[in-house]
Amino acid sequence: MKAPGALEGKAALVFGGSRGIGAAAARRLAQEGADVALTYVSAPQRAAETVAAIEGAGRAGVAIYADSAAPEAIRAAVSQTVERFGKLNIAVVNAGILMLGDIATVSVEDLDRMLSINVRGVFLAIQAAATQLTEGGRIITIGSNTAVRSGHPGSSVYSMTKAAVAVMVKGAAVDLASRGITVNNIQPGPTVTDMTAGHIEAIRPLIPLKRAADPDEIAGLVAWLARKESGYMTGSSLTIDGGMAL
């Protein structure tokens, strides 16, 4: 008989959970005992594979199509999760995009797209999840170590959006503290995902540990923040980047 995990009986929703860090987080939460819903936009097959992994861990899983730029889709994803599992204990906000461009030439369209998903979408996901989270629930956002630095040319807008998330969680943490809900932000450095495939090698020499992270390493920190033992930490941004932002 499998021993109960630290998250046994919990229900989680991972926004942007079909691949990369989001999929790794969904799998890890399931391995620790949680039932997990995840949202996806452009990778239905990858979403299905992640749900299969969740079910392979003995937990219930569901994939929900939801564009993080659409408020009604975000709210619907939360509602569907509660309908499926009967509650919501953990929300992981991972949806985000990376579009590089020199500040002198970045288009208004790219600026608006990044702000819409990386800032507005995160706010709306936190807001929607907060309406349904149980007492003592967890909200975990996935930011970036570039929130404290522009790591390379062309990252100024992306860094700005991630810095906004780091500040956002501070206010959300205060607002939700009376319900025992914690809100924390993980700031990964370069991680091997589809999003970083085109420029990870150029960044590698800048990392003191001389390697990029595996998504499962970030997922381990997500799992810790979801557990009971992290309950006194809130409003924090935790950087996990191989020493890159030192």
- Provide the annotated active-site residues: 158
Token pair listed for 231: 């309950």
What distance in Å separates the CA atoms of residue 173 and residue 175, rounded to the nearest whole number? 6
Q: How long is the chain?
A: 246
Residues 6+ apart with CB under 8 A from 57: 27, 30, 31
Burial of 201 (0-12, 13-18, 19+ CB in 10 A): exposed
64 close to 96: Cβ distance less than 8 angstroms: no
Rounded Cα distance, 152 and 227, in Å: 35
Q: Report angle CA 217, 61, 144 to the nearest 5 degrees.
A: 30
Q: Where are the alpha helices (DSSP H) in 63-180?
A: 71-85, 108-114, 121-130, 156-176
Cα distances (angstroms) measured from residue 235 to each of 158, 165, 166 = 21, 11, 8
Spatial contact of 13 and 82, defined as CB atoms under 8 Å apart: no
